[in-house]
Amino acid sequence: MLKTSDILDEKNKLLRKVSEDVTFPMTQEDLDTIDLMLEYLTNSQIEALAEKYDLRPGMGMAAIQLGIPKRYLTIVHEVEEGKFDNYVIVNPKIVSTSQEKIYVEDGEGCLSVNRDVCGIVPRFARITVEGYDTSGHKISIRAREELAIAFQHEIDHLNGILFIDYIDKNNPYKDQEKYRAI
């Protein structure tokens, strides 16, 4: 089982590395890592388990956050109380976006940023992501709102970008009126 301490902290320079494309077939080690990532994200969103195992709540995780510079990510999206949709995408690319941009009103969080960060992180309200499943079959995912933000956040990780990079240090709420809060 993954622990919160297994996740790289924002100070770790590896998080700034651009991850490499994955080749197929995937290694058993990567497939096992994906299972651990999904388990962590699910358990971290169930309050009793998060407390029991001392897990920071998270919705998404990119391989680089575990020190693995490969282009794959997982997202566990709670669609209703205790019911989750799991997403695993390898070599993801955003292929279309909405005109509309949104931001998380309470601020984005990140398992690698262990502090509260205030400010606007503009994200597309709707996106389409293409990539591959773990068997190498092409997949396409349309996401909106919170799920779209999660995909953009995790794909940024694969490109060495943290959400805090988008926040204007001198004016964290700059251009707030241009975007819709969710």
Name beta bridge partners: 72: 90
Q: In which band, very low, low, confident or very high, does the pLDDT at 145 lie, cut at 50, 70 and 90?
A: very high
Q: Is 154 a catalytic residue?
A: yes
Write down the mean pLDDT value for the chain: 97
What average pLDDT does range 9-28 have in this prediction? Answer: 98
Radius of gyration of the chain (CA): 16
**Cα separation of 163 and 60, whole Å?**
13
* CATH number of the domain to which 142 belongs: 3.90.45.10
Which range marks the domain in which residue 59 is found? 4-181
Domain count, the chain: 1
DSSP 17-31: SPPBPP-SSPPHHHH
- List 100, 145, 154, 177, catalytic entry: 154
- Position 47 scores a pLDDT of 95
Each residue of 59-80: pLDDT tens digit? 999 999 999 999 999 999 999 9
Number of other CB atoms surrounding residue 112 within 10 Å: 22
pLDDT tens by residue, 158-172: 999 999 999 999 999
Q: Model's pTM, two decimal places?
A: 0.97
Provide φ and ψ at 23, rounded to 5°.
-105, 155
Q: What is the DSSP string of 131-163?
A: EE-TTS-EEEEEEEHHHHHHHHHHHHHHTT--G
